[in-house]
Structure 1
């Protein structure tokens, strides 16, 4: 299967494609291993997200917690929560993903009382959905029905979709956790977003740990701890990985050279860029370019 790409903006916000303004819902199947990175990278979105694992199993990292989800079960990820996903033990994990604008869950008159408090609650970054629980089974069945409605588009499917989403949300509220608010957790997420935003704005330049820590108003040691909790990697490792990701798009340009790309994304040595690229992707940047060109020629022919 052709590798898929995951699009986020400079703040790591997913650039979700909705069907229409009238129906702000995105529902699709995805296989983690077919993403170019081999995993779903860290991101967030304003939409709430429902996940239903159809095959294999995955580990979702939501804010600072790892959540294992196996075939038949699901996961709710709240609006604004930073998350990523990895296939577990090469299980070829495939899951159904349903992203919904919070304002579309219930009529606007009910939003302040029955949606906003749950969107803002600090203890609801994620909620496991188990097939073995009656309420969980009902939510997962509704997900499948929404996917069918959006794919088949029968008469009045927009109304039926809205009805199913309202039922799912009511079921979640009736069986979810009590609402809690803890500003410390919000502060951690905001500082992490500030540091990541700064990296994305300055990755072409020379970057040091002190620069990243300063962007989040943290000490060097606390900065490292924050990255370890959220991403399981040091800050400078994240910088390198981000530079490599940016290099992929530049290498796709026919007139680009490996040396030019290396310096454009912030590497100060072509040889170091080549070695790091090979270690990450298993091939050199030049071989990557040649493969892209060959695919392009075959497509044109």
Structure 2
């Protein structure tokens, strides 16, 4: 779930931004937060993310408010409960900066025919260092993250447009419609057509 912090923090002079968002975003001792369902508050934060995502996908009446409310609740949990890391090594901070740059690059260019070399070049590092950053920081590979971004965008288009499935696949960077359908089923538990039918029915 990717969103601009101002969605919940408002303008830089707002109390939400100054009291909660800015301290969290600029704290070098908290470059990231790992969430596990075995921890109560972390499970609650993950549930908030799920509610926000579903609200956007289903576009239920007032979904903008519901999305912002769920994300605000999640951010409050992170601000008040996420522990700081003692003596964060400079290498870890450097890796955090690099992964942010590469994630943003993927989110902007997900529909293109990206390679690991291109993703690495966006952060001015080698492909091997790129692989290490992805593995250490978010526990996946660049290609797996790229595929996830493409599938997430495809899910949004399935629910928010009337484009044909093949057109959505191509628009999201999938040249092979069969591969797109298999990948979509692996992530969402059903094919693209069934996913569209279910979400539209749920929104009625």
TM-score, scaled relative to structure 2: 0.68
Q: What is the CA RMSD across the aligned residues, in angstroms?
A: 3.5
Residues 1:17 and 2:8 are matched in the alignment: yes
Per-residue CA distance 1:30-76 (angstroms, 9 max, x = gap)? xxxxxxxxxxxxxxx64428xxxxxxxxxxxxxxxxxxxxxxxxxxx
Q: 1:227 aligns with which of 99, 115, 134?
A: 134
Report the CA distance between 1:182 and its aligned residue. Answer: 5.0
Residue 209 of structure 1, CA deviation: 1.1
Q: Which has the larger radius of gyration?
A: 1
CA displacement, residues 230-255 of structure 1 (integer Å, 9 cap, x when unaligned): 11111111100111111111111241
Whether 2:141 is the aligned partner of 1:239: answer: no
Of 20, 35, 48 in structure 1, the residue corresponding to residue 24 of structure 2 is 48
Aligned counterpart in structure 1 of residue 101 of structure 2, from 185, 194, 207: 194
**What does the per-residue CA deviation read over 1:129-158, in whole Å, with 9 as the maximum and x for residues that have no partner?**
xxxxxxxxxxxxxxxxxxxxxxxxxxxxxx
The structure richer in strand per residue is 1
The answer to which of 284-293 and 81-90 deviates more is: 81-90
TM-superposed CA distance for 1:7, in Å, is 4.8
Query: 2:162 is matched with which residue?
Result: 255
| Aligned counterpart for 2:35 among listed residues 82, 85, 91 | 85
Report how many aligned residue pairs link the two structures: 170
Greater RCO, 1 or 2 (C-alpha within 8 Å, sep 6+)? 2
Higher helix share: 2
Out of 8, 32, 38, the residue aligned to residue 3 of structure 2 is 8
Structure-2 separation of matches of 1:98 and 1:202? 27
Tell me how far 1:83 sits from its aligned partner: 3.5
Instruction: Note the residue ranges of structure 1 that are not aligned, 5 or more in a row.
Output: 1-5, 27-44, 50-76, 103-124, 129-176
Structure 1 outlier segments of 4+, above 6 Å: 89-92
Q: When the two structures are superposed, what TM-score results if normalisation uses the length of structure 1?
A: 0.48
User: How far apart in 1 are the matches of 2:83 and 2:40?
Assistant: 24
Whether contact under 8 Å (1:7, 1:15) holds in the other structure is no
Q: Distance in 2 between matches of 1:90 and 1:263?
A: 40
Structure 2 unaligned blocks of 5 or more: 46-72
* Paired residue secondary structure (1:24): helix
Task: Write the deviation string for residues 105-136 of structure 1: whole angstroms up to 9, x where unpaired.
Answer: xxxxxxxxxxxxxxxxxxxx9438xxxxxxxx
- Distance (whole Å) between structure 1 residues aligned to residue 165 and residue 93 of structure 2: 41
